[in-house]
Structure 1
Amino acid sequence: MKILLAGDSTVANCPTHEFPMSGWGARLAPLTWTWGAVHNFAKGGASTESFRAEGLWADLLAEAGAGDLVTIQFGHNDQKKQHLAARTGYAANLRTMVAEVRSAGAVPVLCTPVERRHFLAGPPSDAVLEESLEDYPDVVRELGMDLGTAVIDLNAWTRSVYLRLGRMDSRDLFCHFAPGEHAHWPDGLADDTHFSQRGAALVAGEVAEQLVQLGYCPRRLVSRTTAGRG
């Protein structure tokens, strides 16, 4: 059994020089190692289009076999391309991916893209969170219904976590560095898209838990599924 991950930087294994920045896929293996190995093909900057163009999708499919799981989470970079609009190019590419995973004998699991931490200005400042992914999460939910494909709604879940923690406490889930604090970002960094180790672990815990809830991963075979859930 294998869990193969397709996605962008919010899923990917980040370069070591960017530590503690991390995608949630980098923190999934310790939670599911007793059930199946994690193969993370996600890449920073990837869209549903570039992931295929760069050969990453072909590499993933070559590894996929009967009974394996393939999680698919895109949207952040598709959103930047007009021809990959949610209900046109993006939806069409996801449909094709689901079909190809099934043709390989594996099981597709769609994930809505994780939300960015964009609280709106003005009181009550901790209560209003921008819907930065527009209709991309809705399209994933609709495709899940239409294609009979399981969906892990990470967008709704991350939104609920940020709102529960509030503006200040949710900041620790992301990468914020003062000038001189991090060698790779000497001028400082205020990044509300890419997770810290804590944020990545939190999301990975939710993914593992949802795989249990969906019936793909027996609870007794998941190691510490609630680790880091907060």
Structure 2
Amino acid sequence: MKILLAGDSTVANCPTYEYPMSGWGAHLAPEIYSWAAVHNFAKGGATTESFREEGLWRELLHHAVSGDVVLIQFGHNDQKRGHLAARGGYADNLRRMVAEVRAKGATPVLCTSVERRHFSGGRLEATLGEYPAVVSELGDELGLDVLDLNSWTRRLYAELGEEGSKELFFHFGPGEHAHWAGGLLDDTHFHERGARRVAAYVAVGLEALGFKPEPEMLAVF
């Protein structure tokens, strides 16, 4: 079985010069290597539209076969494009993606976007508008599974608190990182510590949805 990933920078394998910045997809393989191979097609800056226009979606579909699972997580960058409104172009593009995955005999799973870390007055605030809700609604409409990463990451950040949750993200002071010599306080992109936490949750979610083969089937493989 293959797990194929479509998404933006919060899912993608980051360039080596950005280390230890990381999307969660870069750390999924160690969690599930015993029963599935991970193919990560996610790209920084991608939307549901650009992912198709740049040929990444075509490449992903080319590799998808019956029995594979395709995880789809977009929203961060769609939110910045007026024509990709949650209940407009974004939802339409996701419907098309789901249909095309199913046409290949693979199983689509939608993921709500991981939340940004944005605290105000000590309270965590939602930043993604209607995008997570629309993904959940599409799950009901299309009869497919949804991994609600948005709700889970919100709970995680709130549990860790405003200070504790910083360790999940890419925060560096001046002179601490060669690529960002002036420092960087990024509350969207994960430090590899945070990416690993999300990847572990995704792996548990996939098992809970029944995608992990039974032990006797693993023995056959």
SS at match of 1:95: helix
Distance in 1 (CA, whole Å) between partners of 2:12 and 2:167 is 19
- Residue 19 of structure 1 aligns to which amino acid in structure 2? Y
Segments ≥4 residues shifted beyond 3 Å: 218-221
Distance in 1 (CA, whole Å) between partners of 2:135 and 2:144 is 10
Q: Does 1:211 align with 2:206?
A: yes
Which residue is equivalent to 2:66?
Answer: 66
Q: Does 1:140 align with 2:135?
A: yes
Q: From 188, 200, 207, give the equivalent of 1:193.
A: 188
Which residue is equivalent to 2:178?
Answer: 183
Cα 1:157/1:187, change in 2 over 3 Å: same
SS at match of 1:131: coil
- Residue 87 of structure 2 aligns to which amino acid in structure 1? R
Distance in 1 (CA, whole Å) between partners of 2:126 and 2:189 is 16
Which residue is equivalent to 1:9?
Answer: 9
Alpha-carbon displacement from aligned partner over 1:125-181 (angstroms, at most 9, x marks no partner): 1xx211100000000000000000100000000000000000001000000000000
Query: Under a length normalisation based on structure 2, what TM-score does the superposition of the two structures give?
Result: 0.96
Which residue is equivalent to 2:164?
Answer: 169
Which residue is equivalent to 1:102?
Answer: 102
Distance in 2 (CA, whole Å) between partners of 1:23 and 1:102 is 26
- Residue 114 of structure 1 aligns to which amino acid in structure 2? V
Distance in 1 (CA, whole Å) between partners of 2:25 and 2:140 is 25
Report the CA distance between 1:219 and its aligned residue: 7.6
Which residue is equivalent to 2:144?
Answer: 149
Q: CA RMSD in A?
A: 1.0
SS at match of 1:115: coil
Report the CA distance between 1:220 and its aligned residue: 5.7
Cα 1:116/1:220, change in 2 over 3 Å: farther
Report the CA distance between 1:212 and its aligned residue: 0.7
Distance in 2 (CA, whole Å) between partners of 1:219 and 1:77 is 38
Gaps of 5+ in 2: 217-221
SS at match of 2:129: coil
Cα 1:172/1:57, change in 2 over 3 Å: same
Which residue is equivalent to 2:219?
Answer: none
Q: Does 1:25 align with 2:25?
A: yes
Report the CA distance between 1:217 and its aligned residue: 1.4
SS at match of 2:49: helix
SS at match of 1:35: coil
- Residue 138 of structure 1 aligns to which amino acid in structure 2? A
Q: Does 1:50 align with 2:46?
A: no
Gaps of 5+ in 1: 222-230
- Residue 79 of structure 1 aligns to which amino acid in structure 2? Q
Distance in 2 (CA, whole Å) between partners of 1:110 and 1:22 is 20
